[in-house]
């Protein structure tokens, strides 16, 4: 049921009070009346209203005085002032004091109803927008970031602090540590939460395509540009642009991005018109930007522009206090999705989960928990419901003789090559197993010069 809007009418003329109140009630409003300022204030102590109709000329406390009090104490209520021709100046003054509008006496009842109708409608729209915003915040805000370790609490605290500002945020951390989740939380906890939120994975496009994705293009800018297209910078105007995998952005693009970050303006490809945008930027990477800078693969000036606020997500092994609570969270999530009872984890199984190093971080933990819910029996997760690598533990599966080159890159290159073999050369499958984008896989194959057969 739609709640009835509530109106308070304040006037010293009893007849007018009665007539107005009758008409408003007939039009579906809930009405209270007061004959002077002090009694209006008394009523407002116990009850709240959407709109107040105030007569200007009243004994004891005139309408303007009352209006000032109302605007100070009851900010949620709109006020319409009723005035005779002689007091029109006062009416104008009351507008300056925050009245929504004034209506001339003798009253034109249609005008009164129309004004009230407008306010009620505006308030309904504002309420709806507010409701949507709080729903978005609930679904994607920082409250969904699970963890009780000091590191995660610090992350959440930083998000709370930085979200309301427009400052650029750089999120770093290994794959699967929750970077995108943090980016979402920053956007949805900001005042831009109901505005566009655009995401682009910089690793997923070859250089020229990335440029046209970000900047857009004019008709005829290149072969195939048969109509104008807006880029992500423009689409995200008023909202937030999330540049994921920024460490994989080609160098020339980095220079172009820097200009947009610094000046908030750019041209579409093939265009001369300078387009200004008001976009908040969030960037994330699982790469070591300091190392990329040393290797001249990431621009220092871009890094300094991005590093105003850095949020670092530590790998899950460094915050094992978060593991049990995350386990509980994912078990509940997947059991609910599968309409199963939430299973219990035996002590033995929890021991294995806690001693496994989780190289794929929270994403890997979520996948393992999903699998465990599927395989669980009699409402229990036992060691046999965990994948072999978790059962064995990392220490046991590590080879006794280690390869000579232990740099992360060569380990990564070997691992990709192994997974490719396992997937019989199927890159979609290999990317899925590795938990990375297909395009990211292509890049890595190229970078490490991995032979595919
Ligand atoms: N603290 C957390 N609480 C609850 N869920 C989490 C948390 N951290 C990560 N997740 C979940 O783990 C999964 C992976 O997170 P996300 O996609 O944000 O990681 P990422 O760091 O962006 O990974 P990648 O570098 O591979 O893109 C998502 O399903 C996310 O919801
Ligand atoms: Mg991500």
Per residue in 142-184, pLDDT tens? 889 999 999 999 999 999 999 999 999 999 999 999 999 999 9
pLDDT tens-place string over residues 30-40: 999 999 999 99
Q: Are residues 111 and 154 in the same domain?
A: no
pLDDT at 236: 95
Q: Are residues 119 and 22 in the same domain?
A: yes
The neighbourhood of ligand 2, an ion, using CB within 5 A, equals: 179-180
Q: Are residues 392 and 376 in the same domain?
A: yes
Report residue 391 as tokens.
């059962």
Contact (CB, 8 A) for 275 and 137: no
Considering the domain boundaries, does residue 228 fall inside one? yes
Contact (CB, 8 A) for 330 and 369: yes
* pLDDT band, residue 393 (cuts 50/70/90): low
Q: Higher pLDDT residue, 241 or 422? A: 241
Q: For residue 406, is pLDDT > 80?
A: no
β partners of residue 253: none
Among 438, 363, 434, CA closest to 203: 438
* β-pair type (240-244, 197-201): parallel
Mean pLDDT, the chain, integer: 90
Considering the domain boundaries, does residue 289 fall inside one? yes
Considering the domain boundaries, does residue 136 fall inside one? no
Q: How far is the CA of 241 from the centre of ligand 2 (A)?
A: 14
Q: How far is the CA of 187 from the centre of ligand 2 (A)?
A: 15
Q: Higher pLDDT residue, 153 or 436? A: 153
- CATH for 373: 1.10.8.60
* pLDDT band, residue 50 (cuts 50/70/90): very high
Q: Is the CB of 366 under 6 A from ligand 1?
A: yes
pLDDT tens-place string over residues 307-347: 999 999 999 999 999 999 999 999 999 999 999 999 999 99
Among 86, 8, 78, CA closest to 46: 8
Considering the domain boundaries, does residue 106 fall inside one? yes
Q: How far is the CA of 176 from the centre of ligand 2 (A)?
A: 7
Q: Which of 107, 131, 155 is the last residue of a domain?
A: 131
Among 199, 196, 192, CA closest to 213: 199
pLDDT at 398: 46
Please state the pTM of the whole predicted model.
Answer: 0.71
Q: How far is the CA of 242 from the centre of ligand 2 (A)?
A: 10
pLDDT at 127: 85
pLDDT at 217: 94
Instruction: Read off the pLDDT of each residue in 108-133 and give the average, rounded to a whole number.
Output: 89
pLDDT at 408: 81
β partners of residue 216: 230
Q: Which of 284, 313, 342 is the last residue of a domain?
A: 313
Q: Are residues 158 and 228 in the same domain?
A: yes
Considering the domain boundaries, does residue 439 fall inside one? yes
- CATH for 29: 3.40.50.2300
Q: How far is the CA of 320 from the centre of ligand 1 (A)?
A: 16
Considering the domain boundaries, does residue 402 fall inside one? no
Instruction: Read off the pLDDT of each residue in 232-243 and give the average, rounded to a whole number.
Output: 96
- Furthest-apart CA atoms within the chain: distance in Å: 99
Q: For residue 394, is pLDDT > 60?
A: no
User: Rounded to the nearest 5°, which phi and psi values hold at 448?
Assistant: -90, 0
Q: Is the CB of 285 under 6 A from ligand 1?
A: no
- Give the distance from CA 45 to its chain's centroid: 38
- CATH for 183: 3.40.50.300
Residues 6+ apart with CB under 8 A from 164: 189, 190, 191
Q: Are residues 220 and 164 in the same domain?
A: yes
Q: Are residues 303 and 321 in the same domain?
A: no
Instruction: Read off the pLDDT of each residue in 215-220 and give the average, rounded to a whole number.
Output: 93
Contact (CB, 8 A) for 101 and 95: yes
Considering the domain boundaries, does residue 30 fall inside one? yes
pLDDT tens-place string over residues 102-120: 998 888 999 999 999 999 9
User: What is the spatial distance between Cα 114 and Cα 136, in angstroms, rounded to a whole number?
Assistant: 33
Q: Is the CB of 370 under 6 A from ligand 1?
A: no
Strands (E), 255-303: 265-267, 274-276, 280-285
- CATH for 415: 1.10.10.60
Pick the residue whose CA is nearest to atom 13 on ligand 1: 363
Among 203, 68, 194, 177, CA closest to 130: 194
Q: Higher pLDDT residue, 426 or 394? A: 426
Considering the domain boundaries, does residue 15 fall inside one? yes
Question: Domain count of the chain?
Answer: 4
Q: Which of 279, 313, 347 is the last residue of a domain?
A: 313
Alpha-helical segments (H) within 272-398: 289-294, 300-306, 322-337, 347-355, 361-375, 388-392, 394-397
Q: Are residues 118 and 170 in the same domain?
A: no
pLDDT at 27: 94
Q: Are residues 308 and 166 in the same domain?
A: yes
Domain that includes residue 354, residue range: 317-397
Q: Are residues 324 and 390 in the same domain?
A: yes
Identify the nearest ligand to the CA of 321 by its number.
1
pLDDT at 77: 92
* pLDDT band, residue 402 (cuts 50/70/90): low
Q: Are residues 293 and 181 in the same domain?
A: yes
Q: Are residues 55 and 12 in the same domain?
A: yes
* pLDDT band, residue 1 (cuts 50/70/90): very low
pLDDT at 148: 93
* pLDDT band, residue 397 (cuts 50/70/90): very low
Pick the residue whose CA is nearest to atom 10 on ligand 1: 178
Identify the nearest ligand to the CA of 184 by its number.
1
- 376, with CB counted inside 10 A (0-12, 13-18, 19+), is buried
Instruction: Read off the pLDDT of each residue in 121-145 and give the average, rounded to a whole number.
Output: 87
Q: Are residues 170 and 212 in the same domain?
A: yes
């Amino acid at each position: 049921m739609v709640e009835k809007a509530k109106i308070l009418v304040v006037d010293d003329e009893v007849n007018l009070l009665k007539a107005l109140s009758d008409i408003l009630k007939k039009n579906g409003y809930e009405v209270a009346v007061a004959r002077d300022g002090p009694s209006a204030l008394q009523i407002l102590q116990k009850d709240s209203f959407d709109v107040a109709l105030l007569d200007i000329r009243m004994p004891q406390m005139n309408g303007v005085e009352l209006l000032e009090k109302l605007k100070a104490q009851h900010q949620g209520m709109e006020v319409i002032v009723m005035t005779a021709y002689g007091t029109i100046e006062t009416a104008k003054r009351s507008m300056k004091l925050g009245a929504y509008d004034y209506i001339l006496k003798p009253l034109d009842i249609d005008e009164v109803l129309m004004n009230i109708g407008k306010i009620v409608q505006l308030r309904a729209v504002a309420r709806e927008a507010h409701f949507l915003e709080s729903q978005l915040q609930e679904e994607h805000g920082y409250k969904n970031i699970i963890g009780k370790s000091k590191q995660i609490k610090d992350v959440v605290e930083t998000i709370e602090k930085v979200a309301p500002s427009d400052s650029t945020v750089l999120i770093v951390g290994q794959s699967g540590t929750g970077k995108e989740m943090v980016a979402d939380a920053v956007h949805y906890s900001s005042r831009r939460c109901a505005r566009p939120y655009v995401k682009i994975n910089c690793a997923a496009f070859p250089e020229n395509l990335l440029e046209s994705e970000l900047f857009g293009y004019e008709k005829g800018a290149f072969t195939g540009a048969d109509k104008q297209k807006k880029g992500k910078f423009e689409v995200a105007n008023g909202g937030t642009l999330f540049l994921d995998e920024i460490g994989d952005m080609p160098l020339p693009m980095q220079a172009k991005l820097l200009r947009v970050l610094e000046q908030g303006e750019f041209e579409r490809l093939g265009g001369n018109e300078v387009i200004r945008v008001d976009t908040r930027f969030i960037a994330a990477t699982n790469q070591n930007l300091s190392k990329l800078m040393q290797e001249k693969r990431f621009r220092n000036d871009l890094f300094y522009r991005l590093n105003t606020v850095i949020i670092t997500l530590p790998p899950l092994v460094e915050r094992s206090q978060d593991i049990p609570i995350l386990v509980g969270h994912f078990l509940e999530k997947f059991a609910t999705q599968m309409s199963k009872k939430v299973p219990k984890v035996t002590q033995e199984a929890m021991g294995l989960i806690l001693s496994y190093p989780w190289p794929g971080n929270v994403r890997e933990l979520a996948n393992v928990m999903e699998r465990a819910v599927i395989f669980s029996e009699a409402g229990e997760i036992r060691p046999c419901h965990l994948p072999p690598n978790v059962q064995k533990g990392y220490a046991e599966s590590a080879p006794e003789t280690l390869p000579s080159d232990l740099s992360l890159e060569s380990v990564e290159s070997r691992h990709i090559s192994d997974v490719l073999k396992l997937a019989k050369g199927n890159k979609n499958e290999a990317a899925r197993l590795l938990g990375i984008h297909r395009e990211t896989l292509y890049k890595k194959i190229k970078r490490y010069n991995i032979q595919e057969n």
